[in-house]
Homo-oligomer: A and B are copies of this chain.
């Protein structure tokens, strides 16, 4: 198993990425190879500063950086020697099993869609987030920002790929799928959710449990929650914002509210592309990077991208 890591992405590159990689290396099975993609000299000196042995890693030289200011669609062709472009080349050529980065999200999405390609039959790949439930479980929310405007058939596919993610990575046998809306009745919602409800309710392939409202997001009522990327992004950012205010107000609650800390998750996959791609938070510290790498390992081990491909082809 080879896990490719963009060493130059994110706000605290390269230090947080290298430190996270060293931490992850110690927690992953010994047959896992971490492939560090970035400026070779920086990687060598960074690893030695951390007391790590460069021979424990594979290092691929990619001196250029795609920053948060680069244009997402133009960045990869303009910077073929960037760590993101090189990472996608490695993934497309199957030299790595998964590629993870905390870099420019837009460029990561573009790379996932245009360098490894969308799975035939998938209308729009999407990204996900985790909703911690009060009962100790967690739900997957999707889409959280790749697709601001969606049609009902796109939301239907989110339900399918979200169910596959829940099943193969989180081990939920028959994931309960809910549609995020503004009332539990099928007639409640906007034009999009009312039409999507009908599609989901008619499906034999999904375990659809109906609409849920914003107040039910954290109650463990579903394993997969489906919405358009605009709504999902606002839900995700609002939860992040309120968690930040809890921290600011000095509220500590390890048992529940600390599960809102993004560091625990690190990153989430792009669902619907021909390869395992993991996107992490730009503000990731070493713990978040470590958890992103571990999740990348889980996603690759589950063969998620191939499982989605099988389901659609």
Residue ranges of A at the interface with B (Cβ–Cβ < 8 Å): 134, 145, 148-149, 180-182, 189-191, 193, 213-219, 228-231, 233-242, 244-246, 248-249, 251, 253, 255-257
Query: Most chain-B Cβ atoms within 10 A of its Cβ — which of A189, A193, A229, A245?
Result: A245
Given contacts A189-B230, A233-B182, is CB(A238)–CB(B257) below 8 Å?
no
In the complex, 9 of the A-B residue pairs with CB atoms within 8 angstroms, ordered by the A residue number, are A148-B190, A148-B191, A182-B233, A190-B230, A213-B233, A214-B239, A217-B241, A234-B235, A249-B257
Chain B residue nearest in CB terms to A253: B249
Copies of the chain in the assembly: 2
Q: Is the CB of A235 within 8 A of B214?
A: yes
Q: How far apart are the CA atoms of A113 and B41 in the complex, in Å?
A: 69
Q: How far apart are the CA atoms of A239 and B242 in the complex, in Å?
A: 8
Q: Is the CB of A148 within 8 A of B241?
A: no
Chain B residue nearest in CB terms to A145: B182
Top-8 shortest CB links A-B = A214-B237, A215-B241, A214-B238, A148-B190, A214-B234, A215-B237, A182-B233, A190-B230
Q: How far apart are the CA atoms of A204 and B132 in the complex, in Å?
A: 44
Q: Is the CB of B241 within 8 A of A238?
A: no
What are the residues of chain B within 8 A of A182 when measuring CB–CB?
145, 148, 229-230, 233-234, 237
Chain B residue nearest in CB terms to A213: B237
Q: Is the CB of A213 within 8 A of B242?
A: no
Determine the main DSSP class of A at the interface with B.
helix
Q: How far apart are the CA atoms of A180 and B231 in the complex, in Å?
A: 10
Q: Is the CB of A245 within 8 A of B214?
A: no
Cβ contact of A245, chosen from B134, B228, B234, cutoff 8 A: B134
Q: How far apart are the CA atoms of A134 and B248 in the complex, in Å?
A: 9
Q: How far apart are the CA atoms of A206 and B139 in the complex, in Å?
A: 40
Chain B residue nearest in CB terms to A252: B251
Q: How far apart are the CA atoms of A308 and B90 in the complex, in Å?
A: 61
A77 to chain B, nearest CB (A): 20
Chain B residue nearest in CB terms to A232: B182
What are the residues of chain B within 8 A of A189 when measuring CB–CB?
148, 230
What are the residues of chain B within 8 A of A219 when measuring CB–CB?
241
Q: Is the CB of B253 within 8 A of A238?
A: no
Q: Is the CB of B233 within 8 A of A235?
A: no
What are the residues of chain B within 8 A of A218 when measuring CB–CB?
241-242, 245
Q: Is the CB of B256 within 8 A of A253?
A: no
A203 to chain B, nearest CB (A): 23
Given contacts A190-B230, A230-B190, is CB(A245)–CB(B256) below 8 Å?
yes
A131 to chain B, nearest CB (A): 10
Q: How far apart are the CA atoms of A180 and B216 in the complex, in Å?
A: 22
A116 to chain B, nearest CB (A): 24
Chain B residue nearest in CB terms to A256: B249
A187 to chain B, nearest CB (A): 11
A104 to chain B, nearest CB (A): 13
